[in-house]
Amino acid sequence: MTAPLKHSASVTVDVALGDRAYDIVIGRDVLASLGERVAALRPGVRTAIVTDRTVAKHWLEPAEASLAAAGVPTSRIVVEEGEGSKCYATLTQVSEALIAAKIERNDLVIALGGGVVGDLAGFAAAILRRGVDFVQVPTSLLAQVDSSVGGKTGINSPQGKNLIGAFHQPVLVIADTSVLDTLSPRQFRAGYAEVAKYGILGDEAFFAWLEENHGDIFTGGAGREHAIATSCRAKAEIVSRDERETGERALLNLGHTFGHALEAATGFSDRLFHGEGVSVGMVLAAEFSAQLGMISNDDATRIARHLSAVGLPTRLQDIAGFTQEGLADADALLALMAQDKKVKRGKLTFILLEAVGRAVIANNVEPQPVRDFLQAKLKA
């Protein structure tokens, strides 16, 4: 697997969901085509852009200008940045603002931002007037390769991540890779964890390519578009076969059962970005798989070595404020895992590994071995 030698104009990935199919348009500077694409998709539509304060500084005016040039009226709704906005209060704020903007059922909500904005705006669209369509314009690497695709929307509960939400597919995704240039190195690294996830769970050749070419992705070379398109194709194929996560789609949660518990333990704060939690979670999942005899210790080490090489946390002890509440307590972490959406009758579901590039769904995992594993890792 090799990267293209130069940037292509754009790449389009189809999410094949029958009459709800939609395109993911990937490439540098494709944000400029937003208005033209929206106007072609929904002639005469009114729109409202939901974004956060940081993204608004860079990309709100270009998005509005593109819509205006295509004759598409729009209004703006700006929320605070960060995971804390995925809450009831901000959902109320956005919903009321959409109603005030007179967004009707044949109009469009545009989510301009990272995963938080996409989840929040998408959920508001799902419940507004019993369902309004929306467009995803993801501005973080994590959102471009993961959260903007597949229709998962929602907010957090104080008891756990993404426990309130709905499946609501977008009608279009515009992934402009040039907007990633404004991300901080830490934000970009966090998003890269989700790129690596696709190789780890189902494509060893892609993971090997990432081991050799990750530098080009971080510096904005043509490998960036290649990695994003490959990740989107992998997710689109799984979503098209299992939209509502009744089976195979659960594989996309590799690292998330551990990771979501860690995010909850750190209060959904900047102490641990989502992708950082997924990174630690994937290493824990690999090491737990090795402990169960499913993969070799060498495979688990290979995963941890690559994630560490790009600067991602790979151990519990790498998390800021590790000794603070919850993180150094195996029982507290296990209690947070018990709130995971995949728990059934008190039994945990984990995504484990049989090899690099081959993940499996492990149902009915008893809590005690997980607790013992965590306890050992906390002492490591």
Residue 306 falls in the annotated catalytic set: no
What gap in Å lies between CA 38 and CA 33, rounded to an integer? 9
Is 102 designated active site? no
Give catalytic status of residue 260 as yes or no.
yes
Out of 42, 161, 260, 306, the active site residue is: 260
d(CA 17, CA 242): 10
| Residues 6+ away with beta carbon under 8 Å from 130 | 105
- On whether the CB atoms of residues 115 and 52 are closer than 8 A, the answer is no
The two structure tokens encoding residue 147: 């959260």
Which residue from 150, 163, 91 is spatially nearest to 125, judged by alpha carbons? 91
Catalytic residue among 161, 226, 274, 302: 274
Active site residue 235: yes
**Residue 7 designated active-site:** no
Told to judge if 248 belongs to the known catalytic residues of this protein, a careful annotator would answer no
Q: Residue 36 catalytic?
A: no
Tokens found for residue 378: 């906390």
Catalytic residue among 156, 162, 213, 253: 253
What residues contact residue 343 under an 8 Å CB cut-off, 6+ apart?
Answer: 337, 349
To the query of whether residue 379 is one of the catalytic residues in this protein, the response is no
Q: Which of 28, 226, 256, 377 is catalytic?
A: 256
Give Cα 151 distance to the centre of its chain: 11
Residue in 83, 225, 245, 263 annotated catalytic: 245
Which entry of 214, 235, 302, 377 is annotated as an active-site residue?
235
Catalytic residue among 152, 161, 302, 377: 152
Based on the residue annotation, tell me whether 297 is a catalytic residue of this protein. Answer: no
SS3 content of the chain, % helix, strand, coil (to 5): 55, 20, 30
Catalytic residue from among 81, 83, 194, 225: 194
Q: Supply 121's token pair.
A: 């705006």
Instruction: List, by residue number, the catalytic residues.
Output: 130, 152, 194, 235, 245, 249, 253, 256, 260, 274
